[in-house]
Structure 1
Amino acid sequence: MIGRRAPAQPAYVLHARPFRESHWLLELLTPNQGRFTAVGRGSRPALFCPCLVRTHGTAELKQLGDWRYQGAAPVHQGAALVQGLYINELCVRLVPRFQVDEAFFGVYASTLLLLAEPSQQAPALRYFERRLLEATGFGLDYRQTMDTGDWIEPGSYYRFDPARGFCQGSRDDNLPGSLIQAIADNNWQSDPALSVAREINASRIQHVLEGRSWHSKNWVC
């Protein structure tokens, strides 16, 4: 039985693969239904283009009815294209189906715009990874240690446990509280902040994936 026709909503195509003759199996990200799979027909929809779509169906596999582009893709080639594919893979692998999160949809859209600016690419990716982890229930607490519950202090040192978060450490752990706070504030003036944030986020994501493959993890800065 075909379900009630849903109203049109903004969307991005995260992934598309052939499905039967002249059809595509699409992973869509929307503000009103979250991430879900839909069957579309015709030419392959472009990635990274803001769309307006209408779907129908009551099952997990929706049917894509009307759809049209709402603008051009902000990323086209080079590093920005690779990084766009990276955030798409993370969405497909981590965002639960039908988890509605309008704020995260906005983060995804703004990240694509920032990737078009070379100087903003690394900070945009680190912020996206952090917000993705928060949106999926695996966000990190940058204020307190997970083993003792103490506040993280700028002059103290800590270690990072991918399963729990920041824990009490020593100078040998080489993760000062001031650096943790800089990352929490998206303050990238400290030289190692971006690289340390990349390592922390990657370790956490790998833990969340529980050994599942993550093809694009070595593609980005």
Structure 2
Amino acid sequence: MATRRISDEAAFVLHRYDWSESSLILETFTRRHGRVALVAKGAKRPSSNFRPVLLPLQPLRLAFSAEGEIRTLKDAEWVGGQVMPTGDALLAGYYLNELLLRLLARDDPHPALFEHYAAAVQVLASEHGEALQPALRAFELLLLREVGVLPSLDVQTLAMAPLQAGETYGLVPEGGLVRTEPGEGRGALAATDWLALEQAMSQPAPFHATLREAARLSSALKPQLRNLLHYHCGVSSLRTRQLMVDLQAL
């Protein structure tokens, strides 16, 4: 019986590691099939067609077998259209990849999240450094919403009561969105800011709408989203974030 094959699948490589002297195991994020593990046989050989193509943060078209926990890569083509991010943007891209590896189960499709990721990578490759942090915050929010762990940002989570004008609220891992006293809680946002973020994530183009809001709120959002992400990833610090801190300390 012929092995069923998936072709022309939009994808990104999230991570790669050695499988043998000549082959690689790839963790990929695909539009229609979610996170998929692939073996790229012979990819480490100098003559392999896979060798110059299987790079992170680059849009690809893949063909692979449809059965098994780890599928076999049959073909890979670079789509083009953007350069490889460098410097801080490259580290930021690796950070996004780590989040996907930690929070997404294999073979669980998230086509909308795939589009958000592709849009975020485009921003990282654009060399507009001022957009880097807002792009990370926008993607973090949409990722948390997509995997079902971000509460509605237009109500107090435990009481399910509307947010009150003039009040500030913070995002707590085990309590959701809660009212804070003035000066209490790092990065608490005004009710109007949380409402604006909730509305942005509901727009037809949610990544870019959320990016615009995150551009003015990035500093306050960062510590709250970091705590939420660490909580759901089950770690006190993500490896890529710690690498950024270590490099900045050199």
TM-score, structure 1 as length reference? 0.89
| Partner SS state of residue 216, structure 1 | helix
Judge which range, 120-129 or 165-174, deviates more: 165-174
Is contact 1:2-1:57 (8 Å) kept? no
CA distance in 2, matches of 1:189, 1:153: 23
Alignment of 1:38-77 (within 5 A): 38-41=38-41, 42-43=43-44, 44=51, 45-71=54-80, 73-77=82-86
Is 1:216 aligned with 2:240? Answer: yes
Is contact 1:17-1:24 (8 Å) kept? yes
Q: Aligned residue pairs: how many?
A: 219
1:151-208 deviations in Å (ceiling 9; x for gaps): 1123113343112311133224263323433544442565xx2112111111111111
CA distance in 2, matches of 1:189, 1:33: 31
Is contact 2:63-2:74 (8 Å) kept? yes
- Identify the structure with the greater helix proportion: 2
Instruction: Structure 2: state its 5+ residue gaps.
Output: 45-50, 201-209
CA distance in 1, matches of 2:105, 2:159: 31
Aligned to 2:129, which of 118, 121, 124? Answer: 118
1:159/1:76 CA distance change after superposition, 3 Å? closer
| Partner SS state of residue 222, structure 2 | helix
Match of 1:195 in 2: 219
1:104-160 deviations in Å (ceiling 9; x for gaps): 111111101111321211111111001111111112321011121111123113343
Match of 1:129 in 2: 140
Alignment of 1:161-172 (within 5 A): 161-172=172-183
Aligned to 2:228, which of 204, 218, 221? Answer: 204
Q: CA deviation at 1:59?
A: 1.3
Judge which range, 108-117 or 41-50, deviates more: 41-50
1:19/1:189 CA distance change after superposition, 3 Å? closer
Is contact 1:126-1:194 (8 Å) kept? yes
1:64/1:134 CA distance change after superposition, 3 Å? same
CA distance in 1, matches of 2:237, 2:179: 30
TM-score, structure 2 as length reference? 0.79
Match of 2:195 in 1: 181
| Partner SS state of residue 195, structure 2 | helix
Is 1:91 aligned with 2:100? Answer: yes
CA distance in 1, matches of 2:12, 2:159: 42
Match of 1:12 in 2: 12
Q: Which amino acid aligns with 2:93?
A: G
Identity of aligned residues (%): 25
Match of 2:87 in 1: 78
Q: Which amino acid aligns with 1:211?
A: V
* RMSD after superposition: 2.3
Q: CA deviation at 1:57?
A: 4.3
Q: CA deviation at 1:68?
A: 1.3
